[in-house]
Amino acid sequence: MREYTTQMDAARKGIITPELTKVAEKEHMREDELLPLVAEGKVVIPANKLHTCLNPEGIGSMLQTKINVNLGISRDCKDYDIEMKKVMEAVNLGAHAIMDLSSHGNTEPFRKKLIAECPVMVGTVPIYDSVIHYQRDLATLTAKDFIDVVRLHAENGVDFVTLHCGITRKTIDQIKKHKRKMNIVSRGGSLVFAWMTMTGEENPFYEYYDEILDICAEYDVTVSLGDACRPGCLADATDVCQIEELVRLGELTKRAWEKNVQVMVEGPGHVPMDQIAANMKVQQTICMGAPFYVLGPLVTDIAPGYDHITAAIGGAIAAQAGAAFLCYVTPAEHLALPNVDDVKQGIIASKIAAHAADIAKGVRGARDIDDKMADARRVLDWDKQWECALDPETAKAIRADRSPEHEDTCSMCGKFCAVRSMNKALAGEYIDIL
């Protein structure tokens, strides 16, 4: 019998949970260093008590930056087996979380399979599922219907849920008044907005927030406060709509903490590079250090087909400035549901961003692998280089495709290999170039 509800409740009671022990080990921290951070809400350990195969992770700006992979079927791409293959590929490539954004058919069996088999954190967006769960049009759903879906996801064992609690009826006027270029681009945010305009009622996730928090406390579901007004283009970045919602997310963070519910806060969006660090600082102040989960940010609007790169640039800057969790972006962003290769490209790009930021932030142990890679490169030990590589498969394939005349070098410089020449020169050996 657990003597606590959530990881935060346990930390506040001074109880070291098995999940906290594992996270401390992974982060090269002592348990007594991590415990107060979980108690204060600066680190979350999303771990639904029913997700029994979970290998837990901590999310916080002082820990290794984590990455999330969005998957799930849609009406146009509805093969559950392909989606499960992507999940396992994502886990093997180092994803720390999978968000199931399925928006077609009966979603519960896939969600249950995920919870039963997936060792990484699983997140969902209950409002996406509401329409398909009830098979009724959005306008006919009631506030109770939405809350029942949150409960269903909690009972299924989901570790974190994105809830668009921050937009209210006031947002409707603001969106109309401020005339954003891209209005609302958050899928969940647009559904809440549409429901409010069609029913004339207040946002149910805001109005019944306390009831939702009670469900989250019961199962230890971490709330990820969705940013419905995240900018969908550079022109909308850091505008009144975005900041006004952020202020409300700060208030909602405090209310969740009062009930020992763990909270992350979601962030932008499309943001010019010069505004990213400021966005992170403002969020940290307004949301009192709650972990920030950024969707990108994409640093330019003009690279469809390459948005894994625009997002990795923004993600690296964001994570260095305090974001704790990066949502991956694939080359298919803005274009189509990602296929297996898109998923791989997106994960690798996000992992590069996260790792680069961890090195810059001085996260414990982050640079060790880079130092090992440098050692392997210095002695031209290719096998050791593959062991250090983020994507050894691609690296090996490129080398094999253009193999060098001399095994120890590569076909870039051949006998002009600087590394080989230096090794020989320092060892007093003769260097034959021609």
CB of 349 to ligand SF4, least distance (A): 23
Residue with token string 């720390």:
96
- DSSP letter at 330 equals -
Closest CA to 390 of 413, 340, 356, 365: 356
CB of 402 to ligand SF4, least distance (A): 11
Burial 228-253 (b: 16+ CB within 10 A, else e): bbbbbbbebbbeebbebbbebbbebb
Does residue 397 interact with ligand SF4 by CB under 6 A?
Answer: no
Nearer to ligand SF4, 80 or 386 (CB): 386
What ranges in 179-239 are assigned the alpha helix state H? 187-199, 204-207, 209-219
Burial 134-144 (b: 16+ CB within 10 A, else e): beeeeeebebe
Q: Which residues pair with 121 in a beta bridge?
A: 97
What is the distance between the alpha carbons of residues 225 and 304, in angstroms, rounded to a whole number? 27
SS3 at position 67: strand
Q: Which of residues 216-235 bind ligand SF4 (CB under 6 A)?
A: none
Nearer to ligand SF4, 48 or 409 (CB): 409
Applying CB under 6 A, the span of 34-42, 116-124, 250-258, 406-414 interacting with ligand SF4 comes to 406-414
Q: Which of 138, 410, 423, 424 binds ligand SF4 (CB under 6 A)?
A: 410
Does residue 431 interact with ligand SF4 by CB under 6 A?
Answer: no
CB of 433 to ligand SF4, least distance (A): 12
SS3 at position 409: coil
Does residue 409 interact with ligand SF4 by CB under 6 A?
Answer: yes
Q: Which of 15, 172, 286, 419 binds ligand SF4 (CB under 6 A)?
A: 419
With CB under 6 A, what is the number of residues at the site for ligand SF4? Answer: 7
CB of 68 to ligand SF4, least distance (A): 34
* Residues in binding site for Zn(2+): 270, 334
Q: Which of 273, 413, 422, 425 binds ligand SF4 (CB under 6 A)?
A: 413
What is the distance between the alpha carbons of residues 50 and 70, in angstroms, rounded to a whole number? 21
Nearer to ligand SF4, 247 or 379 (CB): 379
H and E: helices and strands count for the chain: 19, 8
CB of 359 to ligand SF4, least distance (A): 21
SS3 at position 149: helix
Residue with token string 């022990």:
21
* Cα-based distances in Å from 310 to 201, 273, 425: 38, 10, 42
Nearer to ligand SF4, 31 or 371 (CB): 371
Does residue 88 interact with ligand SF4 by CB under 6 A?
Answer: no
Nearer to ligand SF4, 251 or 381 (CB): 381
Does residue 417 interact with ligand SF4 by CB under 6 A?
Answer: yes
Q: Phi and psi for 32 in degrees, rounded to 5?
A: -75, -15
Does residue 418 interact with ligand SF4 by CB under 6 A?
Answer: yes
CB of 406 to ligand SF4, least distance (A): 9
Q: Under a CB-based contact definition with an 8 Å cutoff, are residues 44 and 291 in contact?
A: yes
CB of 133 to ligand SF4, least distance (A): 55
CB of 404 to ligand SF4, least distance (A): 7
CB of 418 to ligand SF4, least distance (A): 4
Q: Which of 1, 400, 412, 433 binds ligand SF4 (CB under 6 A)?
A: 412
Applying CB under 6 A, the span of 200-208, 273-281, 393-401, 405-413 interacting with ligand SF4 comes to 405-413
Nearer to ligand SF4, 44 or 417 (CB): 417
What is the distance between the alpha carbons of residues 317 and 43, in angstroms, rounded to a whole number? 20
Does residue 434 interact with ligand SF4 by CB under 6 A?
Answer: no
Q: Which residues contact 161 (CB under 8 A, 6 or more apart)?
A: 123, 124, 125, 126, 150, 153, 154, 216, 221, 222, 223, 224
Where along the sequence are the contacts to ligand SF4 (CB under 6 A)? 409-410, 412-413, 417-419
